[in-house]
Amino acid sequence: MPGPDSLAGFLRLVRTELDLELTDRDAETELAALPGWDSMNLLRLVTLLESGSGRRLPVPTVLAARNLREIYAVLEEAA
């Protein structure tokens, strides 16, 4: 599975692979406020992104992200 090439693609991946009901506006929502979000979702997301992109993500930076947009930015910076 290739990594997402846009924020919209990233959100689609999160919705599909983590089975979360998200809207595009949820990119700015604090992770703790996302419906169904928990720490296991973050671990699953990092694993999906690394396997899909073939890139290692800086986990401390991902853990510091406050929302999905910031996680996507980490992915983009790792490119």
**Is 2 a member of any domain?**
no
Confidence of residue 2 (pLDDT cuts 50, 70, 90): low
Mean pLDDT value of segment 49-71: 93
Q: Please list the helix, strand and coil fractions of the chain in percent, rounded to the nearest 5, in that order.
A: 65, 5, 35
pTM of the predicted protein model:
0.91
User: Does some domain include residue 62?
Assistant: yes
For residue 79, the model assigns a pLDDT of: 79
Give dist(CA 56, CA 27) in Å, integer.
Answer: 22
The domain in which residue 55 lies consists of: 7-78
Domain membership of residue 1 (yes or no) is no
Total of domains in the chain? 1
The reply to whether 68 falls in a domain is yes
Tokens 């595009």 locate to 24
Which whole number is the average pLDDT over 29-53?
94
- Residue 61: CATH number of its domain: 1.10.1200.10
Strand, helix or coil for residue 30: strand
- 38-48 pLDDT tens trace: 999 999 999 99
Q: Is the pLDDT of residue 64 over 80?
A: yes
Angle (CA) 32 29 19, round 5°: 70
